[in-house]
A = this chain, B = another copy of it.
C-alpha cells in the first residue's frame, strides 16, 4: 500500500472533513443509549463513543456534542434523572438503530419511530432496549466539560448488566462473536466481527520475546 500524507485536512469541505475525522480513529462500538425525562418522554440515541474508564469502581463514559444550539434530549434526560442505559447493537437491529439518529421532535420517541422496544427492569428508571442481547444500566457519576470544543464526557457507574451468561468466558471476558455485537466506523458504516487472535497478559518471559 502506498502511504502518503493527506495534505491540508483543514481545506477539505465541511462534510468530507467531518467524515474523515469521524472515521480515522478506527472501529467503534455500536451502542444505543436509552434515557427518559422526568415527564416520562423516552429517548434512544445511537452512540459510537462509549469507552471504558475504569473497572473498580466500574465506570463507562461516552462523548456528547455541545448542547448550545441544538436540542440534546439524551443530555437533558441524564441530567434530570441521573440514569441511562447502554445497549449493544446486534446484526438484526442495525437499520433500526441507525435511524434513531434522525431528527425527531421532542415528544416523539425513537423507540416508537424506529420499532425498538423499551424495557424496564429492576425498577431502573431509564429504559433498556428489549431487542439488545447486552444491556447495561448506569447511574450518572459525573459530567465533564471538554474545554477544547464544548463537548461533554458523560461518565456512568455500572449498576446492572443483563446478558446471556453463556457468552461470558470463565476469565470474565464477554465473547462478542457469540453475542453478534456489531461495530461502526464513522457515522454510516457497520461491521461484523471475526475473532482472529487471543492472548493473555503480556509477560516478559513469554515465548514471543524468546524468538528474537
A interface residue numbers (CB < 8 A to B): 1-6, 9-10, 12, 14-31, 48-61, 63, 65, 86, 88, 91, 94-95, 98-104, 113, 115, 121-122, 133-136, 141-142, 144, 146-149, 151, 153, 155, 157-158, 160-169, 171-177, 179, 181-183, 185-204, 206, 208-209, 212
* Residue pair B183, A183 in contact (C-beta under 8 Å): yes
Q: Which residues of B contact A88 (CB under 8 A)?
A: 26
| Closest B residue by C-beta to A144 | B144
Distance, CA A209 to CA B179, complexed state (A): 27
Residues of B within 8 A of A177 (CB): 191
**Known contacts A91-B196, A149-B59: A25-B4 contact under CB 8 Å:** no
In the complex the two chains form, is B161's CB within 8 Å of A155's CB? no
A195 touches B190 (CB 8 A): yes
15 additional A-B pairs beyond A2-B166, A17-B55, A191-B195, beta carbons within 8 Å, are: A6-B161, A9-B161, A14-B56, A20-B173, A25-B86, A26-B30, A54-B149, A57-B148, A59-B148, A61-B146, A98-B197, A146-B155, A174-B186, A188-B198, A189-B197
